[in-house]
Amino acid sequence: MNTIFKEKNDTMHIGHNIKRIREIQGIKQEAFGQLCRNRYSQQRISDFENMVALDEPLLEELAAALGVTPEFVQNFKDENVIYNIQTNQDTSSSNQQYNQPTIHNDGADKLVALLEKFIEEDRVKTQSIAELSKAVLDLAHEVKKLKEGK
């Protein structure tokens, strides 16, 4: 029985680690996909999170989007997070200066900046589509005139 337990712990599930890190950061799959360089869909992120292993370039991309290293993802364990939280709580009264949780808004700031960028890009694309649509309609009108003139 110990052997089965040991084998289960020795099996590293990279997709599960990606999912847990994303969840701890409070990022939804769809938003996470947009943080990635290749802008993955929610379904594709779900697929990645169900994979036991990921190739190195993909792992690097997903880790970067989460703001961690590939090594952090590979070595991530829920038990370590729980231990660190408990250790910080246990020692906070005796050493409050060093064990106060540090709140980083880098992720939220990056997300806001990314969303603002997407909104601006969407505005520019919408304007371009409107201009192209007008040009197509003008061309269609000119073609119609030419056909009627023949």
Q: Are residues 110 and 82 in the same domain?
A: no
Are the C-beta atoms of residues 39 and 33 closer than 8 Å to each other? yes
Are the C-beta atoms of residues 66 and 18 closer than 8 Å to each other? yes
Q: Are residues 90 and 107 in the same domain?
A: no
pLDDT tens-digit profile of 90-112? 554 444 444 444 445 566 778 88
pLDDT tens-digit profile of 26-84? 999 999 999 999 999 999 999 999 999 999 999 999 999 999 999 999 988 877 776 66
Q: Are residues 88 and 145 in the same domain?
A: no
Whether pLDDT at 8 is above 60: no
Element (H, E) at 141: helix 106-149
The reported pTM is 0.51
In the prediction, which pLDDT does 97 show?
47
- pLDDT confidence bin for 113, thresholds 50/70/90: confident
Number of domains, the chain: 2
Q: What angle do CA 32, 35, 39 make, to 5 degrees?
A: 95
The residue whose two tokens read 């769809």 is 30
Q: Are residues 78 and 127 in the same domain?
A: no
